[in-house]
Amino acid sequence: MLTWMQHHKKYLVVTIWISVIAFVGAGFVGWGAYDFNLNRNSSVAVVGDEKITFSEFNTKYNQIYNYYNQISNNTLNEQKAKDLQIDLVALNTLIEDKLLLNFAKNIGLDVSNEEIIQELIKTKFFQDEQGDFNKTFYYNILRQNNLSPKEYEQSVYNELLINKLNDIFNLANQDQELKMLSSSFFMQDLLSIEIINYDKNQIKIEENELEKLWQESKENYKTQKVYEISSYYIKENMKQYSDEELYNFYNDKDNKFKYKDTNGKILDFNNAKEKILEDYRLNELKNIANRKFLDLKSGKISFQTDLNITKDDVKYPIEKLKKATKNEILRPFEFEDGFIILRLNKVDPIRLKTFEEARNDVLEQYLNQESRKKIQEIAQNKIGNFKGSNIGFVSRDSSRNSQKLDENTLNDVEFNYFLMNVFNSDQNSSYVILSDTKAVVYKINKQKLFNEENFKEYKNILEQNLKTLKSNELKKELVEQLKKEYPIKIYYKGN
């Protein structure tokens, strides 16, 4: 029973979730014919009788981009989006939707104009303060988002139609199913564990093996692009200026509404004087820097310093240097407490490092690989002759018991990672590699399968999760069949 449940929980919790994830972001390869002749400029793809318009594609792309940006704390940029292939995720999602739309229409499902109107009326974005639908709001919001009413109402139609189809997949939950799912989530294992640590200093370094590793992976060891530049720095002067000069600067049409307090109220001259002085000094310094720029271009003066920089030197304008030509002098820009002028002398392109240049990095990789081999070997040998410490019953969401496992033995992050691997495994006795130098060998001595208290507390959540799981599994199978039923023609080339 113990072995069966270990295997069964993995199937229930891991395999089925992977299936759901696979459905949500299905692979792009093999979805149909690709057409790279983009004289077909009316759509991104055609699925059966349904077109994917550029407008739909852009809307879906923006939705997914904003979602990823939100969960990454607004750190997403276009390059990261390209690496994540958000465009293909958007396209795949739309293709699935269009497959379902084809099917829904073929089995006779439809959406009436009245249903679309009711959906628009209850959309909060289009409501005024009294909660009534406001036609002006509606048209303005669509215009701001570059959508026509026809496009938006078609998207509402599609969404409502797919929702009707989704009702087919909402199967009732059986009590036994819920209890099995509850067991897989809340089962507890009585664990014995042993921590293994390995010291990398024990590894004997073989130079020939080191060089062999470099040969196998030298594409991973490259120099950075280096910009050889000359610089001329103009430091901020601390000269004092008369009130008349500062007041004239303050009253200039470009500055008149610049100085405000935290509430947005315009500050008078006296209250803004400190900031005015700072800006005036910078403005005067900019004029000096512009004169120095002309002197450098004409050769009247020379650059002060030569230096080499890379993309990691973020205080320099790398993007401008990328576009600059050899010996081009860049216009002055603010730098530290003044201005700086740069000349691009030369660009050293990215190249493969020699073995000598890459040795330290290769050595680190070598030690990591050898250490991981050793720790796996030791852990594997321990399984057959296991003498661990009993840490009591744990579930997949247990917290570390500091009385049984102190911070130095296993910290919270390591403990959580360890539990995740134990409860995702079908082995009664195995090991979890935490790092290149640390592993945990474990043995499951006993299990508590069903917890009535947890079942009652989380029954509503379990019911919703089970419905979602079954619905997505059915939908996944249907989509696989529909891909064979409806031709898919893709015109999108990718970015």
Quick: pLDDT tens for 197-235. Answer: 999 999 999 999 999 999 999 899 999 999 999 999 998
Q: Are residues 302 and 416 in the same domain?
A: no
- State what percent of residues in the chain have pLDDT above 70: 88
CA 20 to chain centre: 19
CA distance 222 to 353: 5
CA dist 308 and 305 (Å) reads 10
Encode pLDDT of 228-277 as tens digits.
Answer: 999 999 987 777 777 777 878 877 767 767 777 777 777 778 877 778 78
Q: Are residues 166 and 42 in the same domain?
A: yes
Residue 495's pLDDT is what? 63
Asked if residue 143 and residue 48 are part of one domain, the reply reads yes
Pair (38, 135) in one structural domain: yes
Whether 213 is covered by a domain: the verdict is no
Whether 41 and 158 share a structural domain: yes
* In 222-349, beta strands by DSSP E: 226-235, 305-309, 333-335, 338-348
Tell me whether residue 28 is in a domain: yes
If asked whether residues 253 and 380 sit together in one domain, one would say no
Q: Which helix (H) or strand (E) holds 347?
A: strand 338-348
User: pLDDT for 7-25, tens place per residue?
Assistant: 444 333 333 333 333 333 3
Contact 115, 156 (CB under 8 A): no
Q: Where residue 182 falls among pLDDT bands split at 50, 70, 90?
A: low
Kindly indicate the confidence band of residue 103, based on its pLDDT and cuts at 50, 70 and 90: very high
Read off the tokens for 22.
């696979």
Q: Is the residue at 363 inside a domain?
A: yes
Check whether 159 has a pLDDT greater than 60. Answer: yes
Residue 180 has pLDDT above 90, yes or no: no
Please check whether residues 360 and 476 belong to one and the same domain.
no
167 and 43 housed in the same domain = yes
pLDDT over 90 at 434, yes or no = yes
**Which is higher by pLDDT, 386 or 116?**
116
Helices 149-166/113-121 angle, 10° precision: 100
Domain CATH for 330? 3.10.50
Residue 211: inside a domain: no
Strand (E) or helix (H) holding 338: strand 338-348
307 belongs to a structural domain: yes
Q: Decide if 339 contacts 286 (C-beta within 8 A).
A: yes
In a domain, 217, yes or no: no
Instruction: Give the Cα separation of 120 and 129 in Å (integer).
Output: 16
Are residue 368 and residue 312 in the same domain, yes or no? no
> What does the pLDDT read at residue 264?
74
**Do the domain assignments include residue 208?**
no
Angle at 357 between CA 351 and CA 363, to 5 degrees: 120
Tell me the residue length of the chain. Answer: 495
Question: Domain of 158: which CATH number?
Answer: 1.10.4030.10
- Find the Cα–Cα–Cα–Cα dihedral 393, 398, 401, 404, rounded to 10°: 40
147 and 261 share a domain? no
Residue 421, domain extent: 188-199+354-448
| Cβ atoms within 10 Å, residue 170 | 12
What is the predicted pLDDT for the residue at 450?
Answer: 63
- Counts for the chain of helices (H) and strands (E), in that order: 17, 12
30 domain-assigned: yes
Q: Are strands 33-34 and 488-490 parallel, antiparallel or unpaired?
A: parallel
Helix residue ranges, H only, 107-220: 113-121, 135-144, 149-166, 175-186, 207-217
Q: Dihedral sign for Cα 73, 77, 83, 86, please.
A: positive
> What are the b/e assignments for 122-136, b being 16+ CB within 10 Å?
eeeebeeeeeeebee
- Shared-domain flag, residues 460 and 442: no
Q: Which two tokens stand for residue 286?
A: 């900019």
User: Which pLDDT value is given to residue 212?
Assistant: 94
Q: Count of domains in the chain? A: 3
Q: Are residues 304 and 435 in the same domain?
A: no
